[in-house]
Homo-oligomer: A and B are copies of this chain.
């Protein structure tokens, strides 16, 4: 009898799979007697014990019956199912409208193409340091105790929700109660839950153009009818908001992504009034509101929200690190239950150990230290970037200089999209990872530009990177001086 062992896992497991295959393919017919254990062991060069274990398991699963003295026999039930359908791995049609829309709008690699290059100016590369790693290791170790092994509840650990309230009151001017804080697995889940709680297919959602591709894609996947409203140097152009039918407006007020504009107070009040008037909701994505270098962070839109229309989304990906996958939502009172239920349905709740560790970390002095040092570090890196741009690329670029965040936008002078593509290609040959602003636009950008993320590089590296950028620009673009 021909039996092949696939080499995965221990011998007895391989033999079990192999025998089942033979039975299911009727190479071992119903009623057939399985070979004597010793004989099969010799044939396959395995121990007799291995064969005996395999036979026992076949019996336990009903593939065979053992008759004392007579041997082990294949049962009659084990016949192969007749196959009248073969899935083709690639060409299957999307099974749901969600899946179809997700395929259609799939675009995730816009910020991570150049991983592995010497200098990667990708947006979203975390700012980490060994002190953070040490503090986090310690916090997690302390959090791992038996009583942190059970489900946490959908809304998240109370201690963390309370720490978040204190943080918001202190740093973002938001006063809320821990009951209105929902712990989520990062900002992306916040957008996803918002879509479920607020939107049916074809409901109208306003997104900033340019804007963040993560929130755009999930709204598209949920089937929202998306209206793009453009952004100028005061942020979202509120006068361009649709005159009716808007269900949700998603904004990044403290540091518009990717343009860097800060939503002015007039616009903030205008937007809140719009939401109230149209019975619409606002998602305030405060993704890097913490990092403001010329003054204290601006107070959040939510802190001006008298009518409870703002769904405030915070993340720890920037102030700690992305792999943590923890964020939170400050939920309007009227939606509190629906968000909790959506979170429960999505995953029952976020991991407990990390929540406990994070709560401890936030209440320890090392958290403030971390924020201050991160701010210092980012400010130094940003200054190195601006200095380097002025020094090496000054006559080719216009810098959008917002003293905030972890990235800067530069516009390229006398440059066509094709030149920009050539620039990026040339730079990557010189091991410099550059990213066009274009993928962040729904329409066309006013002119070619770059999104420069500087969080992951030291000032010295940034200076060197800018030098290379300058040389590449000189090679690709005509000088304007």
| Chain A residues within 8 Å of B, Cβ to Cβ | 6, 8-10, 13, 16-17, 20, 24, 53, 56-57, 60-63, 75, 77-90, 92, 94-99, 102-103, 106, 108, 124-126, 128-130, 132-133, 136-137, 140-141, 144-146, 148-152, 154, 166, 169-170, 173, 175, 184-186, 188-189, 192, 196-200, 203, 214, 217-218, 221, 247, 264-266, 269, 272-273, 276-277, 279, 281, 294-296, 298-299, 303-304, 306-309, 321-326, 332-338, 341-342, 344-354
Contact = CB atoms under 8 A, between A and B. Distances in A.
18 contacts: A8-B166, A56-B296, A62-B264, A75-B265, A77-B265, A80-B306, A82-B273, A87-B309, A95-B338, A96-B196, A99-B197, A103-B341, A106-B341, A140-B141, A185-B351, A324-B353, A325-B347, A325-B349
B347 A99 contact: no
B24 A304 contact: yes
A89 B108 CA distance: 37
Contact of A321 (B78, B132, B150, B196): B150
Nearest to A61: B298
B149 A126 contact: yes
Given A96-B203, A323-B351, A323-B353, 17 more contacts: A8-B169, A9-B170, A20-B173, A20-B299, A57-B296, A60-B298, A83-B307, A98-B197, A102-B341, A103-B341, A133-B149, A136-B144, A137-B140, A185-B185, A185-B350, A188-B346, A189-B346
Contact of A16 (B63, B102, B173): B173
B144 A137 contact: yes
A222 B197 CA distance: 12
A78 B150 contact: no
A144 B8 CA distance: 30
A89 B335 CA distance: 8
A334 to B, nearest CB: 4
Contact of A197 (B95, B299, B338): B95
How many chain copies does the complex carry?
2
Contacts of A97: 200
A347 B185 contact: yes
A62 B265 contact: yes
Contacts of A341: 99, 102-103, 106, 221
Contacts of A294: 60
B166 A9 contact: yes
Nearest to A248: B95
A78 to B, nearest CB: 7
Contacts of A90: 334
Contacts of A13: 169-170, 173
Nearest to A273: B81
A323 B148 CA distance: 7
A217 B345 contact: yes
Contacts of A106: 341
A323 B346 contact: no
A148 B77 CA distance: 50
A77 B351 contact: no
B103 A338 contact: yes
